[in-house]
Amino acid sequence: MIKAVEEINRHTIAVLVDNEAGVLARVIGLFSGRGYNIESLTVAEVDPRNSLSRITIVTSGTRMIIEQIKNQLRRLVPVHKVSDLTLEGPQVSRELALVKVAGGGDKRVEALRIADVFRARAVDTTNESFVFEVVGATEKVDAFIKLMEPLGLVEVSRTGVAAIARGSNPL
């Protein structure tokens, strides 16, 4: 009841985990089992020597829910560190999208012009299509895709968010 009136905010959470079988399933199972939502999730090994992977999760919830999510993540045995990048000061957050646009004539020209504005690169070109690579904050990628819609958008592949805190300190 009290929860309903509380503000819901989006948070980017970085999780350092042992790169072992099942660890991603544990994290995803935690979110689905407890009814938290995942807006974006990315994972890759970042420290091969110590066999550590970094999972970046974008989620949203009330203050209490976000607190729960972090504490629940910390309970998982293979989790080393959980850091709320949204709370811990300025951060850089990026994702990459590959955007396929097909068509000809004016629309083709317009697509190229917009790609230029967004500093998107054409990484594949045929007579009737482009694949653009666009990198940026989620909002920028969203905006680019939206602009491509009327210009013959056929397919999108996105990486999800990778994020890191600004400044010299590690996670």
Which spans of this chain sit near other proteins (rule: CB under 8 A)?
Answer: 1-2, 18, 21-22, 25-26, 29, 33, 64, 67-68, 71-72, 74-77
Closer residue to other proteins, CB minimum distance, 52 or 96: 52
User: Quick check: 99 and 54 in contact, CB under 8 A?
Assistant: no
> Least distance from C-beta 29 to other proteins, angstroms?
5
Strands (E), the chain: 9-18, 40-47, 52-61, 79-84, 91-102, 121-126, 129-136, 153-158, 162-165
91: phi then psi, degrees, rounded to nearest 5: -145, 160
Which is closer to other proteins, CB of 28 or CB of 165? 28
Instruction: Give the whole-angstrom CA distance, residue 104 versus residue 19.
Output: 46
- Residue among 18 and 133 whose Cβ is closer to other proteins: 18
Nearer to other proteins, 1 or 117 (CB): 1
Which tokens belong to 48? Answer: 């091969």
Rounded least distance, CB 161 to other proteins, Å: 24
Give 74 or 119: the residue with its C-beta nearer to other proteins. 74
In the complex, minimum distance from the CB of residue 68 to other proteins, in angstroms, rounded to a whole number? 6
Bridge partner residues of 52 (DSSP):
18, 47
Strand partners, 156: 99
Q: How far is the CB of 58 from other proteins (least distance, A)?
A: 21
Nearby residues of 25 by Cβ (< 8 Å), 6 or more positions away:
none
Q: How many helices (H) and strands (E) does the chain have?
A: 5, 9
